[in-house]
Structure 1
């Protein structure tokens, strides 16, 4: 199986009817599906201005982070994390998507006009560790604060 096909199987496995999901997904001109969070993953949604530097930190630490989504306009980034993370997350300014919610998921390997993968799933089930993600967010936020101080000092 190719990486994209394996990723499709992994993502569709959370749908109430995986076969119907794959069928619709592959034929949907938008290339997206609505999938339930909380089964194989939760999603932590960061503002883009924090998300990109956070992803930079994560990729310096890990050779292969978990999947990362970005919305149209790069305003928000969604890091796929283990199920249950959303219910335990206490960080401010971070939206959580867990059990009982659904997310728009683009078909892996296909370009869409809206939500897209920055780090596509590889089908292995690799997710970003939430503790590592939190540390990366702190480092990214500290870097942003330092940049802001330099801009003011001039």
Structure 2
């Protein structure tokens, strides 16, 4: 079972801010609105692989069962956001297209350089009337370190393939069952 941390620590906040062109401005925004989601660019500190939430949980279980786990993971609008090494998103996209694994794996959205993603609030405010960010996603594994362990494209690919081929895995659309 993987750890569950819902609040971002100071070191994790610094790492997230480092993705922005203006890290000090991001940190000032978060200081004034820790309950608000943010949009951060991919490609500098991290890339993000977005996948259907149910499949994503299976991938997470594979990453934790087969090795050292993974770094930050969030859920936003029914999708699991897996933070990966910068450059891993385009590489994973090419690996899935190049090999015949794409037919086993549900559609993944690979966000890399030039893309941006919405990240959950740094703090989760529960039952607070002045907390409009409650529906804005949440951290499953919040960043806690300045240098979180981010899996590369090959590690994510194999976790996806194992999760997709696991008995009882849902069949992706367009693939015969």
Pair 1:120 & 2:142 matched: yes
Which has more helix, going by share of residues?
A: 1
Aligned length: 143
Give SS of 1:121's match: coil
- The residue that corresponds to 1:103 in the other structure is 117
Equivalent residues of 1:4, 1:109 under 8 A apart: no
After superposition, give the CA deviation of every residue in 1:70-93 in whole Å (9 maximum; x if it has no partner): 114xx2111111111222223241
Report the alpha carbon displacement of residue 8 of structure 1 after superposing the two structures with TM: 0.3
Q: Bigger shift: 99-108 or 45-54?
A: 99-108
Which runs of structure 1 show a deviation greater than 6 angstroms over 4 or more consecutive aligned residues? none
Structure 1 segment 1-150 matched on structure 2, within 5 A: 4-28=9-33, 30-72=35-77, 75-88=78-91, 89-90=93-94, 91=96, 92=102, 93-111=107-125, 112-123=134-145, 124-143=147-166, 146-147=167-168
Q: Bigger shift: 16-25 or 102-111?
A: 102-111
Q: So what's the TM-score if we normalise by structure 1?
A: 0.82
- The residue that corresponds to 1:152 in the other structure is none
Q: 1:8 to 1:142 in 2, by over 3 A?
A: same
After superposition, give the CA deviation of every residue in 1:107-139 in whole Å (9 maximum; x if it has no partner): 444354322111111222321232111111111
Distance 1:148 1:44 in 2: 19
Output the aligned Cα RMSD.
2.1
Equivalent residues of 1:38, 1:99 under 8 A apart: yes
After superposition, give the CA deviation of every residue in 1:17-75 in whole Å (9 maximum; x if it has no partner): 11111111222264222111000111111111211111111111234411111114xx2
Q: Which runs of 5+ in 2 are unaligned?
A: 1-7, 97-101, 126-133, 171-177
